Amino acid sequence: MLVTFLTCFALYAYMRLWICALLLFIMACAQETIPETATAPKPAPGPVETGPEPAPLVPKLSRVQVPEQVVVLADDCVKFGCPRGAEIVADTSSGLFYECNCSRAKWIYPENLLCFADSGDAMESGYRSAQSC
């Protein structure tokens, strides 16, 4: 048993010695200097002519005016089966109303759909505005 332990310990110490030697070799290689043959040539003395400045790689962004309220087209609500002039559709199962151009409005089942002329009419009928649109 003691012989096995000593053999394992000797192998461990031997491997550790090789690992240290390998690390020292890697560190020595990393510290070697690169020859200076790859330096840029020195500019010739005299006046230097420069051309126009190149355009920036990324164009400057300008602020865009975002309208406060999106205009609802009359045909948006017609696709749901609402009469012309309706701007709001309500879901009777959830109690929420949406503008007709809202992406969530298309998920209302036809049997649960109500049409309103504006959001005030929908609120008077007890529906609340959907926060998603």
DSSP characters for 58-126?
SPPP---PPPSSPPPPHHHHHTTTPPTT--EEEETTTTEEEETT-GGGGGS-GGGEEEESSHHHHHHTT
Could you report the per-residue pLDDT of 59-118, keeping only the tens digit for each? 555 555 545 554 445 567 888 888 888 899 999 999 999 998 888 888 899 999 999 999
Note the pLDDT of residue 48: 62
Note the pLDDT of residue 10: 65
Share of the chain above pLDDT 90, in %: 23
Cα–Cα dist 102/108, whole Å = 11
Cβ 89 vs Cβ 124: under 8 Å: no
Give me 62's structure tokens.
């300008």
Between 63 and 52, residue with greater pLDDT:
52
User: Phi/psi of residue 115, each to 5°?
Assistant: -110, 140
CA 14, 17, 23 angle in degrees (round to 5)?
Answer: 145
Mean pLDDT of the chain: 75
Please measure the distance between the N-terminal and C-terminal CA atoms of the chain and give it in whole angstroms. Answer: 78
At which residue do the structure tokens 């420069």 appear? Answer: 50
Residue 55: pLDDT band by 50, 70, 90 thresholds? low
Note the pLDDT of residue 19: 82
